[in-house]
Chain A
Amino acid sequence: MTPCASIDAKIRKQVEQIETTPAIPAVFLPLLKLLNAPPEQVRLEEVVKLVSYDNTIAVQCLRVASSPLFGLPKSPESIRGAVISLGLRRVETILLTCCLGQVLPAKGLSLDPTVFWRHSLGCAMVCRKFSEKLPGADGEKAYMAGLMHDVGFLVNGLAFDKPFARAIEHAVKEQIPLVEAESATMGFTHCETGRALAEKWRLGEDIIEVIAHHHAIEQSEKAQPLVALVHLSDLLCRMRGLGYGYYERQKVDLAHDPAWAVLQKKYRDLEGVDLERFTFELDEAVANIYELVSTIFGSNAGGSTPGQN
């Protein structure tokens, strides 16, 4: 799926210009830097300071932290309290969730942000849940990878809106995966545009691999198990009402996907994963994800609410 050099240059040029887009919270990039640092070097005070810097973000974070998805029994009353009871890593992912929620303008793009964030959050959550079943896997990193994997759709929406709108139209009409429609109509996909943005933002190497290769795990060299985990979680979300809001004529055989074999090589216990139960538990979380997305976007979210679609 490597685009030719001229397309690559075009993507990079467009991504450079994204700088001026509104609403990237000031804490976002420093936060990403922090997330890339080894956990033992991250200081609690630094995180608290970053969050308190932006009042809107702080309020949102507290709301998000009290969602059942993050498993806190009682809504935290202060950022400090939240950091202590949730643990630093978990707070980082919550922060990232909030920040990213503000990157995309809520209206006027070919991509419905509500649908996009439901998918991204859903995938993040499935990645974390999935990695809980794999001994030694880093759940918070998996969450982050799931959250960011489709960031290329943001770039498409911001820098290639018209061709992307045609790709979406094609996908909906043919009921095919969006990535196939992108290839067919634009000649490049969110994997390339996402990679360009991720490199510009200097995201971690592993996350860049996920963004670039989650639709073609065999191309991943450095972080194949993580890429495989995101690939499978992405597929499962799209099969359980957390896709892009249209019917994909697809049959998905998770346990016989090449990504499954990659995970099995690293985590022997994979045989013990009860995929059916995992699926039913995801269904249970769908309502929470819908709620969390409307928490992040407020009433301006557009799109529909559960039960109305």
Chain B
Amino acid sequence: MTIAAQTAVAKPLPIKTGQPIDPTFRQIRDLVYKVSGIFQLEEKLYLLADGCGRRMKQLGVRTPREYCDLLSGHSSREAELRQLLNELTIGETCLFRSQPQLDALRKVILPELVQEKAKQVLKRLRIWSAGCSTGEEPYTLAMNMLEESEGLLKGWTVEILATDLNDRSVETAKTGIYGDYALRVTTDHFKRKYFSPVEGNKLEVRPEVRKLINFSRLNLQDTSKMLFMKGMDLIFCCNVLIYFDGPSKSKVVDHFFSNLNFGGYFFLGTSESLLKLNDKFHLVHFPGAIAYWKPSLKSGKL
């Protein structure tokens, strides 16, 4: 038997050939990273260049250099970066967006959590999708949990909390109806098992999936509400914190840390990082994915 090169992780994308990228965009990439923790890979720099191009057009800025200066200026920086991040994350979301995260969840984390919590009377897992947008993430998580319901999670209750700041997003999320674009990487297995066809060539999430999820509106900056979100085993907060300024982000991350049970995990978006905002979390690597871990009490590593 040969070890085939069948890696399921971190596949390199073909590098977009054509015009060379203006080196200023690398500088802008560094600025974006420093403020938001989002890292635009070299092979995706053209996406950053496109996003900047759209902003430059709207602002009437002519050169990348000039735009970079604008992003570095103290007065304009925060607002403009937010606008640029909007451009960069538009239309990004879909179901099953990060397979390596899901693999880490099912192959490494779930067995660990199940083992750690085995002695507890209440066999319950609580998952929070913070900033769930139009529901792609919580439904993806719910389906993956259901896949384990006859195996690892037999006899367990899974609760998924899905919150977003935007009322309209939450309403859309509740309908659970998706078109081709949102389902572009969802496999036929999942489509057949967990969706029913509805009008307009779309698919609707089945009730057994929906049953696991509780949707509600929540502002992550609302301290009194954040204090109530207790006992989480997993928190997913993908491409949300990038819109917060440093101090608010730090506050939210501190909340997440106390919202989690010991031994729980916190996931960000695939190319997003915490920028050392919280030194109590441990950065942990899984094949193709990173997460932040709140060490379990018995590991003695707090």
Contacts and interface: CB of A to CB of B under 8 A. Distances in A.
Given A241-B7, A253-B293, A276 B274 contact: yes
A115 B63 CA distance: 43
A43 interface: no
B108 A245 contact: no
A241 B42 CA distance: 17
Contacts of B37: 276
A283 B1 contact: no
A306 B11 contact: yes
Contacts of A240: 9-10, 285, 288
A236 B286 CA distance: 9
A254 B107 contact: no
Nearest to A307: B14
Contacts of A250: 108, 286-287
A152 B112 CA distance: 32
Nearest to A109: B2
B15 interface: yes
A287 B16 CA distance: 12
B283 A254 contact: yes
B290 interface: yes
Contacts, number: 135
B13 interface: yes
Contacts of A235: 285
A307 B290 contact: no
Interface string A239-266: 1110111111111111110000000000
Given A239-B286, A276-B283, A115 B5 contact: yes
Interface string B231-248: 000000000000000000
B259 to A, nearest CB: 21
A253 B41 contact: no
Interface stretch (A51-59, A80-88, A94-102, A164-172): A164-172
What range describes how many residues of A lie at the interface? Answer: 35 or more
Given A240-B288, A251-B112, A252-B285, A245 B10 contact: no
B33, B275, B290, most chain A CB atoms within 10 A: B290
B108 A249 contact: yes
Interface in B1-40: 1-15, 33, 37, 39
A197 interface: no
Nearest to B42: A284
Nearest to B283: A275
A2 interface: no
Contacts of B287: 238-239, 241, 243, 247-248, 250
Nearest to A279: B290
A287 B11 CA distance: 9
A304 interface: yes
Given A245-B6, A249-B107, A287-B12, A255 B43 contact: no
A254 B14 CA distance: 29
Interface in B272-288: 273-276, 282-288
Given A240-B288, A247-B8, A277-B33, A111 B3 contact: yes
Given A241-B12, A248-B287, A307-B13, A175 B107 contact: yes
Given A241-B288, A256-B301, A309-B6, A277 B39 contact: yes
B285 A251 contact: yes
Contacts of A165: 1
A238 B7 CA distance: 10
B101 to A, nearest CB: 13
Interface of B: 1-15, 33, 37, 39, 41-43, 103, 107-109, 111-112, 271, 273-276, 282-288, 290, 293, 301
